[in-house]
């Protein structure tokens, strides 16, 4: 087990000990999920006994136990401080914005921070763009909460604007379509559920407008789209990119402060807030109708266009574009990994091939030389590694 995982387990143990020393009435919230995750962790550890690669399964068991400890820590913290949701949201936002900010800075100083990076998509410090995209998406709701709340210090509220800009820019430069889809879904749910739509729209729209030209410029450069670009190519655009990011953050902070100043002097009327909500709903409906109409009058029609997109999604040989075109594309190599996961599952349907063994088990089923350690899908990976029992527990 890695040092970090041991540290996480020890930290969780200390907090649980604190919970025992300061007993509070147990509400039971989170207990069913915690028990299921515990059972999943036990299954992951036991899978080393039938795994085709026991060391890999043991390593995955250590990670899963760390996940269990962190989740148990969250449940325990909820018992100790049941009304501290704002602290949690703030901590998530600070952590995610810091990581995404570091990723952007690594492209401003590539020789010092990203000299050995071979890929073009933004992925530091994880060295994996989908992980960075997921972290950026995770912090979008907390950023909306910080910028739309009525209480709190105006300066802290204004900081939500540059934070959202950093998150959206980092997310876009990862070119992670899954993370982008999750972000759009989360923002739509927020606007549908949370009544502070006028404030939320400002936090969402202004950073998006500021990020759009910067992302468009960056994704037109080989340093952000081409693989195996030399360091000199990344250094050539680093200075301009740094100035653009700095201008983005400064401009969004100024906009946030100005909006907070206006809110302090004049609170929008209930009529205006309702009108804003109705306008958002009308625009969303109009965009949906426009999309359907554009498909209907296209050469292939609605059915033909949908059929082509499904074919691209399930075709293993479909090329995946780079840059801006990638964000609107559905073609990828995931369908091949999913088919391989299905074949592994068919061979061992009950318990799978062992935790974290997809990368080895897929070799007998692959049709090309592409390397992959994961199935690029949680359900597909779980079915291949831990079979039907693991999927049920998950």
Residues 219 and 92 in one domain: yes
| Chain segment 370-379, per-residue pLDDT in tens | 778 888 889 9
Residues 211 and 99 in one domain: yes
Residues 120 and 237 in one domain: yes
Residue 350 lies in a domain: yes
Q: What is the mean pLDDT of the chain?
A: 84
Residues 244 and 344 in one domain: no
Residue 309 lies in a domain: no
pTM of the model: 0.80
Residues 348 and 262 in one domain: no
Residue 127 lies in a domain: yes
| Chain segment 130-178, per-residue pLDDT in tens | 899 999 999 999 999 999 888 878 889 999 999 999 999 999 999 888 8
Angstrom distance (rounded) from CA 204 to CA 197: 10
Residue 321 lies in a domain: no
Task: Taking residues 112-126, report their average pLDDT.
Answer: 83
Residue 374 lies in a domain: yes
The phi-psi region of residue 352 (left if phi > 0; otherwise alpha if psi is between -120 and 50; otherwise beta) is left
Q: Which of 238, 266, 294 is the last residue of a domain?
A: 266
304: confidence class by pLDDT, cuts 50, 70, 90: low
Task: Taking residues 260-280, report their average pLDDT.
Answer: 73
Residues 257 and 346 in one domain: no
Least confident of 201-205, 262-266, 386-390: 262-266
Residues 226 and 372 in one domain: no
Residue 301 lies in a domain: no
Residues 117 and 242 in one domain: yes
Backbone angles phi, psi at 251, to 5 degrees: -65, -40
Residue 307 lies in a domain: no
Residues 242 and 126 in one domain: yes
pLDDT for 32 equals: 86
Angstrom distance (rounded) from CA 49 to CA 41: 14
Residue range(s) defining the domain that contains residue 114: 84-266
Residues 366 and 238 in one domain: no
- Name the more confident of 269 and 286: 286
- pLDDT of 79 above 60: yes
User: How many domains does one find in the chain?
Assistant: 2
Q: Which of 266, 281, 310 is the last residue of a domain?
A: 266
pLDDT for 290 equals: 75
Residues 230 and 377 in one domain: no
Q: Which of 243, 266, 289 is the last residue of a domain?
A: 266
Residue 373 lies in a domain: yes
- pLDDT of 65 above 80: yes
Residues 345 and 252 in one domain: no
Backbone angles phi, psi at 92, to 5 degrees: -65, -45
């Amino acid at each position: 087990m890695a040092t970090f995982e041991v540290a996480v387990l020890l930290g969780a143990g200390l907090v649980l000990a604190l919970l025992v020393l300061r007993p509070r009435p147990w509400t039971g919230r989170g207990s069913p999920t915690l028990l299921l995750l515990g059972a999943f962790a036990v299954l992951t550890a036991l899978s080393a006994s039938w795994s085709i690669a026991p060391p890999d399964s043991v390593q995955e068991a250590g990670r899963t136990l760390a996940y269990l400890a962190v989740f148990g820590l969250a449940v325990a913290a909820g018992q100790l401080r049941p009304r501290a949701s704002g602290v949690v949201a703030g901590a998530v936002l600070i952590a995610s914005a810091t990581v995404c900010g570091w990723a952007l800075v690594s492209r401003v100083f590539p020789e010092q921070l990203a000299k050995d990076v071979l890929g073009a998509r933004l992925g530091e410090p994880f060295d994996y763009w989908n992980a960075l995209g997921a972290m950026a998406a995770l912090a979008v709701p907390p950023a909306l909460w910080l910028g739309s709340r009525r209480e709190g210090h105006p300066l802290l509220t204004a900081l939500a604007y540059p934070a959202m800009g950093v998150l959206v820019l980092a997310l876009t430069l990862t070119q992670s379509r899954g993370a982008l889809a999750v972000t759009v879904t989360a923002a739509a749910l927020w606007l549908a559920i949370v009544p502070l739509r006028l404030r939320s729209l400002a936090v969402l729209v202004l950073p998006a407008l500021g990020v759009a030209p910067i992302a468009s410029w960056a994704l037109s450069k080989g340093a952000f789209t081409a693989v195996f670009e030399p360091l000199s190519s990344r250094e050539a655009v680093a200075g301009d990119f740094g100035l653009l990011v700095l201008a983005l953050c400064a401009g969004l902070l100024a906009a946030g402060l100005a909006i907070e100043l206006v809110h302090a002097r004049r609170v929008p009327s209930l009529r205006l807030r309702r009108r804003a909500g109705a306008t958002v709903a009308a625009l969303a409906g109009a965009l949906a109708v426009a999309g359907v109409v554009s498909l209907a009058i296209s050469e292939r029609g609605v059915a033909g266009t949908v059929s082509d997109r499904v074919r691209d999604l399930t075709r293993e040989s479909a090329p995946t574009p780079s840059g801006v075109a990638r964000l609107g594309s559905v073609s990828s190599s995931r369908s091949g990994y999913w088919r391989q996961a299905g074949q592994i599952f068919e061979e061992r349907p009950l318990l799978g091939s062992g935790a974290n063994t997809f990368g080895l088990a897929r070799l007998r089923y692959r049709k090309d030389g592409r390397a992959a350690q994961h199935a690029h899908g949680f359900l597909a990976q779980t079915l291949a590694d831990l079979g039907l029992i693991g999927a049920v527990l998950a």
